[in-house]
Amino acid sequence: MIHTRQLRKSFGSNQVLHGIDLDVQPGEFVVMLGLSGAGKSTLLRCMNGLARPDSGTLQVGGIDLMARHSRRDLARQAAMVFQHHNLVPRLSVLKNVLTGRLGALPTLPSVFQLFRQADLDLARECLDRVGLSHKVDERTEALSGGQMQRVGIARALAQQPKVILADEPVASLDPKTARTVLQYLRDATRELGIAVVCNLHQVDYAREFGDRIVGLAHGRMVYDGTVEGLTEPALQAIYHPLVHPEPSAKADGRLQTSIIGGLS
């Protein structure tokens, strides 16, 4: 679903991504950890076409993002879930979810927001998946923060994407609500075979919900492996990295359950 090789990205003289190699399979829930400024959002923004990498290869849902591609085509493959969910507060819950269908409509119906019955059915089904069937007609601004984030997830599901990219989706929620939101996100995407890359700051949530953990430090991948492998040395590599860790050779050429780079 997602394939990157030697992906690099700079902002001026600030090199932010130093050659990222990552493959994410359908239905896999990958949690990305790293200190603030490690490059997590930049990597997600590259995957969603919001930032253009300098070099390397990047494919998302079969689309080559280094070549010319249409935003509409990419929107059919990858949906984004944001920390502040970016919903329209005065619209109903259903209408917010339906905006996830706009990219799938032909141009004229999309301009006039003429949704088909199938779009309405899908939007309702997506709200059901996040436990909000009873809120379809409510104004979105009347919902709690956790419910709004679940609407954001339903909107992403309504795009019928192959990939969901979630950038700190639970950063503004209390722990109980955060867990509920992550559970809905993981269960729905697992059932639908959607690949997820989810940036988080909480190691506990990463352990609880991740199928696999990726750790970034200074724009380099310093860990790629299982939840069980996320031991103290791995956490050191992620959260107390050397200033410029050099990636070590990979014994078998793969990045399974390995700490990559030197430890301080």
Ligand X SMILES: Nc1ncnc2c1ncn2[C@@H]1O[C@H](COP(=O)(O)OP(=O)(O)OP(=O)(O)O)[C@@H](O)[C@H]1O
Measured from the CB of residue 200, what is the shortest distance to Mg ion in angstroms? 10
Using the minimum distance from each CB to Mg ion, give the nearer residue, 119 or 168: 168
| Binder among 1, 21, 41, 98 for ligand X (CB under 6 A) | 41
Q: How far is CA 138 from CA 94, 132, 134, in A?
A: 8, 10, 9
Contact 233, 262 (CB under 8 A): no
Q: Which is nearer to Mg ion, 40 or 220 (CB)?
A: 40
- Contact pick of 13, 14, 107, 264 for ligand X (by CB under 6 A): 14
Residue 117 touching ligand X (CB under 6 A)? no
> What φ, ψ does residue 66 adopt, rounded to 5°?
-85, -15
Q: Is 13 in the site for ligand X (CB under 6 A)?
A: no
Strand partners, 213: 31, 225
User: CB atoms < 10 A from the CB of 142, how many?
Assistant: 12
| Length reported for the chain | 264
CB closer to ligand X, 40 vs 85: 40
Q: Which is nearer to ligand X, 11 or 246 (CB)?
A: 11
CB 16 within 8 A of CB 43: no
| Residue ranges binding Mg ion (CB under 5 A) | 40-41
| Smallest distance, Mg ion to C-beta of residue 199, A | 6
Comparison of 16 and 127: residue with beta carbon closer to ligand X: 16
* Cβ proximity of 46 and 78 under 8 Å: no
**C-alpha to C-alpha distance for 229 and 172, rounded to whole angstroms:** 28
156 binding partner (options Mg ion, ligand X, none; Cβ < 5 to 8 Å by kind): none
User: Which residues here bind ligand X, judged by CB under 6 A?
Assistant: 11, 14, 16, 34, 36-42
